[in-house]
């Protein structure tokens, strides 16, 4: 086998050197490694639906491929996809967007990336409520800006306008919201969402609202998008959306940004020099996802609802665990500080020992800015959930 000389002269750029690797990807890799070694793994690490992409969506991609839709598209995506996104937001939330205010991206992640790097300069501050999705601070760091975290434990991880107000400084340029939240599953009440948007509008602060879990809200909660706010509160707002979770399309890489035309224009510049456009067949699949039958979304939501109810009850019975009720997404985020005894000092130790002793994967909350918590994804079968909870109970008993 040919060996290559070490790249001794390579030094990573300063901004990338300041970035952290993803804790969620690390948990996924740990599960893969154990599985490859033949272990019977219970995996609560998944950040993606355990359902297959609905067949009508797959068929649309197949038709697109056969019809020769296999070339570059416009950077902003095909007109049909822009129109389908606009129509969805109009029908669901009464919002009016123009094609110049919408772009398709390679997943919601690229929409957030585009939005953040087109806005932030070195020295700017980006407000990020804790616990946060691991990627938010890293993109701000990549842009050379400073993530400023907002503590929300006092309000059970539900952000308030007062908390935002206390964190604002003259350097604050951006606030990143994510409701329903990954990792906490908590949902911002619409009235508080509005108060936050009133505050940021008044102070001239931009907002990225990551609505990747938009449709996964459990009754009595209701689906809420920042798009339903009055237009005057949306002049500095970018909504980042995704097909990944709603339609079980994580591998297809389709998301979108909705923002004022000038901001989209800047994002198109970044995208035009990076990925150009998201995959052409996947764009046609996404058109079908939005315009075609929606039963699959209801079926998935029904299944998550059942699992969630079972899981929350089971978690409440584990000594040392405390778990607020997550109103959305597909995660529970229990506080495990009651189990941090003997040689378990941190939630990282908890996750690591659980993996070693019970072959059960959970994600350490520290990666989301919440030491002492763990994230449990219920995007996995009921069978796995019941077995995994038995293992967690057995493990915790040794410490409490």
Ligand X SMILES: Cc1ncc(COP(=O)(O)O)c(C=O)c1O
Residue closer to ligand X by CB (options 107, 326) is: 107
Residue closer to ligand X by CB (options 48, 387) is: 48
Hey, which residues between 180 and 199 contact ligand X (CB under 6 A)?
Answer: 182
Q: Which residue has the tokens 């994804």?
A: 377
Residue closer to ligand X by CB (options 105, 396) is: 105
Closest chain position to ligand X (CB): 107
Exactly one of 45, 49, 107, 147 binds ligand X (CB under 6 A); that residue is 107
Q: How many CB atoms lie within 10 A of CB 222?
A: 9
d(CA 145, CA 329): 29
Q: Does 108 bind ligand X (CB under 6 A)?
A: yes
- Nearest distance from C-beta of residue 203 to ligand X, angstroms: 24
Exactly one of 45, 77, 185, 255 binds ligand X (CB under 6 A); that residue is 255
* Span from 50-58, 103-111, 141-149, 278-286 in contact with ligand X (CB under 6 A): 103-111
Exactly one of 75, 114, 244, 271 binds ligand X (CB under 6 A); that residue is 244
d(CA 218, CA 234): 26
* Span from 102-110, 279-287, 363-371, 374-382 in contact with ligand X (CB under 6 A): 102-110
d(CA 280, CA 366): 38
- Nearest distance from C-beta of residue 375 to ligand X, angstroms: 10
Q: Are 257 and 238 in contact (CB under 8 A)?
A: yes
Q: Count interface residues toward ligand X (CB under 6 A).
A: 13
* Residue 241 φ then ψ, to 5°: -120, 170
> Residues 350-389: x/- map of binding to ligand X (CB under 6 A)?
----------------------------------------
Q: Does 242 bind ligand X (CB under 6 A)?
A: yes
- Nearest distance from C-beta of residue 319 to ligand X, angstroms: 30
Alpha carbon 348 to chain centroid, angstroms: 21
Q: How many CB atoms lie within 10 A of CB 85?
A: 26
Q: Does 45 bind ligand X (CB under 6 A)?
A: no
Rounded to 10°, the helix 23-36/347-358 angle is 10
Q: Does 326 bind ligand X (CB under 6 A)?
A: no
Exactly one of 53, 73, 82, 178 binds ligand X (CB under 6 A); that residue is 178
Tell me which residue of 89, 124, 69, 140 sits closest to 257, measured CA to CA: 89
d(CA 202, CA 210): 21
d(CA 256, CA 254): 7
* Span from 105-113, 137-145, 229-237, 257-265 in contact with ligand X (CB under 6 A): 105-113
d(CA 306, CA 298): 12
Alpha carbon 217 to chain centroid, angstroms: 14
Q: Does 250 bind ligand X (CB under 6 A)?
A: yes
Q: How far is CA 221 from CA 85, 198, 329, 340, in A?
A: 23, 22, 12, 33
How is residue 366 annotated by DSSP? G
Beta strand ranges found along the chain (DSSP E): 42-43, 102-105, 125-129, 146-150, 172-178, 206-210, 237-242, 255-258, 331-332, 360-361, 363-364, 374-377
Exactly one of 23, 88, 109, 147 binds ligand X (CB under 6 A); that residue is 109
> Residues 262-291: x/- map of binding to ligand X (CB under 6 A)?
------------------------------
Residue closer to ligand X by CB (options 101, 210) is: 210
* Span from 107-115, 118-126, 303-311, 384-392 in contact with ligand X (CB under 6 A): 107-115
Residue closer to ligand X by CB (options 248, 339) is: 248
Q: Positive or negative CA dihedral for 44, 306, 253, 334?
A: negative
CA dihedral 86, 221, 298, 290 (to 10 degrees): 10
Residue closer to ligand X by CB (options 216, 395) is: 216
Residue closer to ligand X by CB (options 109, 186) is: 109
d(CA 113, CA 178): 14
* Span from 5-13, 159-167, 242-250, 352-360 in contact with ligand X (CB under 6 A): 242-250
Q: Are 28 and 45 in contact (CB under 8 A)?
A: yes
* Span from 101-109, 120-128, 268-276, 351-359 in contact with ligand X (CB under 6 A): 101-109
Binding site for ligand X (CB under 6 A): 47, 107-109, 133, 178, 182, 210, 212, 242, 244, 250, 255
């Amino acid at each position: 086998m040919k060996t290559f000389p070490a790249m001794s002269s390579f030094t990573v750029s300063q901004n990338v050197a300041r970035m952290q690797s993803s804790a969620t990807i690390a948990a996924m890799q740990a599960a893969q490694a154990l599985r490859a070694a033949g272990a019977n793994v219970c995996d609560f690490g998944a950040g993606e639906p355990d359902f297959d992409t609905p067949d009508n969506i797959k068929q649309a991609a197949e038709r697109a491929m056969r019809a020769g839709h296999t070339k570059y598209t416009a950077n902003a995506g095909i007109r049909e996809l822009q129109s389908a996104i606009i129509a969805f937001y109009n029908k669901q939330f009464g919002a009016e967007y123009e094609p110049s205010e919408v772009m398709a991206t390679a997943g919601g992640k690229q929409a957030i990336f585009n939005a953040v790097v087109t806005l932030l300069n070195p020295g700017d501050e980006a407000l990020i409520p804790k616990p946060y999705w691991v990627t938010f601070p890293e993109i701000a760091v990549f842009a050379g800006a400073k993530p400023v975290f907002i503590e929300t434990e006092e309000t059970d991880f539900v952000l308030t306008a007062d908390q935002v107000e206390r964190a604002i400084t003259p350097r604050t340029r951006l606030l990143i919201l994510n409701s329903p939240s990954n990792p906490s599953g908590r949902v911002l009440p619409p009235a508080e969402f509005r108060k936050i948007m009133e505050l940021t509008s008044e102070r001239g602060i931009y907002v990225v609202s990551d609505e990747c879990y938009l449709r996964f809200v459990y009754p009595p909660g209701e689906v809420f998008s920042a798009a339903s706010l009055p237009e005057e509160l949306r002049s500095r707002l970018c909504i980042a959306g995704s097909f990944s979770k709603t339609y079980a399309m994580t591998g297809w890489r389709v998301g979108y940004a909705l923002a004022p035309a000038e901001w989209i224009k800047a994002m198109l510049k970044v995208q035009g020099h990076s990925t150009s456009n998201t995959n052409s067949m996947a764009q046609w699949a996404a058109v079908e996802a939005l315009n075609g039958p929606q039963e699959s979304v209801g079926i998935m939501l029904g299944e998550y609802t059942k699992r969630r109810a079972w899981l929350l009850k089971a978690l409440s019975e584990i000594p040392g665990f405390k778990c607020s009720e997550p109103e959305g997404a597909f995660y529970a985020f229990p506080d495990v500080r009651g189990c941090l005894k003997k040689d378990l000092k941190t939630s990282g130790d908890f996750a690591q020992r659980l993996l070693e002793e019970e072959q059960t994967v959970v994600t350490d909350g520290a990666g989301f800015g919440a030491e002492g918590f763990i994230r449990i994804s219920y995007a996995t079968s009921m069978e796995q959930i019941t077995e995994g909870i038995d293992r967690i109970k057995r493990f915790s008993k040794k410490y409490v």
